[in-house]
Amino acid sequence: MYEVVAFYLFSVLTIGLFLVTVMSKNVLYAMTSLAAGMVLISGFFFILGADFLGVVQLIVYVGAIMALYSFAMMFFDATKDIKEKNTSNALVFLLGGLSALVLVLMFSAPIHSDAIQALYPMHEGVGNAQDVGIVLFTKYLVPFEVAAVMLLVAMIAGIILAGKKMDDSLTEDLSADDEILTQKDEK
Amino acid sequence: MIGLSHYLIVSAIIFSIGLVGVLRRRNLLMLFFATEVMLNAVNIAFAAISHYYNDLTGQMFAFFIIAIAASEVAVGLGLLIVLYKKYGSLDLDDLASMKG
């Protein structure tokens, strides 16, 4: 019963928040609703019994990625609305709907076959984190290490790309500086 | 009772929301947000299939998707900052250098 209520609550809220993300003209609104939607998605993971995945979703997505976005927001002017020349909405929604239909067919095709069998079954009485750890460090050890190297490469690339010429002003708004200086002089 | 198809339908709806965002947005930062929405939708589908088939493989793939998303954001935001320094705008129409 609780599961049903939680599922419908989470799905309605997540869909609404992500619609705000996609439709909003303001970057700050979009980012905030994206973060809230990701918190609710971790709720889905907790319902599904994937506790460790939910915690990782909270830490990595809501913690790290959203913090990265909000730091990057300091470089761009986030307060003004984005003006976009949108293509015709009807065409976009038609294409989006058609691709969603194809997606549902792709997802549901293997479900109707009985060929699926569990490769790494979950164990009763063992916590999800233990189960995940055992599979991750035995069967998926090499992809895990490759992912670690990939994160290191991404970190170095981010530092190199963003860190160059950090002392230059991005907004190039020298008049604001002059204004502050004259105000200081008047005092 | 909530079944696997409920989760897959929610996941498909969220994925198509992200897809609509990718198709109609012109700002690069908003395109990134729409990509995150799509990645999250796929993660829901993986976790749901993993739960209903009692198999851990789906959760493993979701972990690797999260790692890939994190590195994509790190590199992508660096590129966005470089682009913004160079052109002063993140609009795709302003950034088009090849007039076709």
- B33: nearest CB among A21, A68, A107: A21
State the total domains in chain B: 1
Q: Is residue B96 domain-resident?
A: no
| Collapsed DSSP state (helix, strand, coil) of residue B96 | coil
Q: Which domains does chain A have, with CATH numbers?
A: 2-80+127-186 (1.20.120.1200)
- Interface check for B28 against chain A (CB to CB < 8 A): the answer is no
Which residue of A25, A40, A47, A65 is the best one to mutate when testing the B interface, meaning the one whose CB has the most B CBs within 10 A? Answer: A65
- B81: nearest CB among A34, A56, A162: A162
Q: Is residue B17 domain-resident?
A: yes
Distance (Å, rounded) from C-alpha A43 to C-alpha A41? 5
Distance (Å, rounded) from C-alpha A64 to C-alpha A51? 19
Q: Is residue B56 domain-resident?
A: yes
Per the CB < 8 Å rule, is B85 touching A31? Answer: no
- A157: nearest CB among B43, B56, B74: B74
Distance (Å, rounded) from C-alpha A38 to C-alpha A17? 9
| Collapsed DSSP state (helix, strand, coil) of residue A167 | coil
Per the CB < 8 Å rule, is B18 touching A87? Answer: no
Q: Has the ipTM of the complex gone over 0.85?
A: yes
Tens place of pLDDT per residue across chain A (187 aa): 888 999 999 999 999 999 999 988 888 889 999 999 999 999 999 999 889 999 999 999 888 888 888 888 877 776 677 776 666 778 877 887 888 788 777 767 666 656 667 777 777 777 788 888 888 899 899 999 999 999 999 999 988 888 776 666 555 555 666 666 777 677 6
Distance (Å, rounded) from C-alpha A37 to C-alpha A19? 10
Residue B49: per-residue pLDDT: 87
- Interface check for B81 against chain A (CB to CB < 8 A): the answer is yes
Distance (Å, rounded) from C-alpha A164 to C-alpha A167? 8
Which residue in A has a C-alpha nearest to residue B55's C-alpha?
A121
Give the domain range for residue B14: 4-91
What residues of A are in contact with residue B69 (Cβ under 8 Å)?
60-61, 65
Distance (Å, rounded) from C-alpha B41 to C-alpha B65? 11
What residues of B are in contact with residue A142 (Cβ under 8 Å)?
none
The token duo for B23 is 């198709």
Residue A166: per-residue pLDDT: 63
Considering only the C-alpha atoms of chain A, give the largest distance between any 2 of them, rounded to a whole number of Å.
Answer: 81
Distance (Å, rounded) from C-alpha A173 to C-alpha B20? 35
| CATH code, domain with B61 | 1.10.287.3510
Which residue in A has a C-alpha nearest to residue B46's C-alpha?
A45
What residues of A are in contact with residue B16 (Cβ under 8 Å)?
96-97, 99-100, 103
| Number of residues written out for chain A | 187
Q: Is residue B69 domain-resident?
A: yes
| Number of residues written out for chain B | 100
Report which of B80, B68, B74, B63 is spatially closest to residue B28, judged by C-alpha positions: B80
Task: Check residue A81 and report its DSSP letter.
Answer: P
| Helix/strand/coil (H/E/C) assignment for every residue in A123-154 | CCCCCHHHHHHHHHHHCCHHHHHHHHHHHHHH
Per-run averaged pLDDT (10 residues), chain B, 100 residues: 84 88 86 92 91 87 93 90 82 73
Q: Is residue B98 domain-resident?
A: no
Q: Is residue B100 domain-resident?
A: no
Q: Which residues contact A7 (CB under 8 A, 6 or more apart)?
A: A44, A47, B2, B6, B7
The token duo for A158 is 């981010």
Distance (Å, rounded) from C-alpha A171 to C-alpha A168? 9
Report the gap between the CA of B79 and the closest CA in chain A (Å). 6
What residues of B are in contact with residue A50 (Cβ under 8 Å)?
47, 50-51, 59, 62
What residues of B are in contact with residue A72 (Cβ under 8 Å)?
29, 77, 80-81
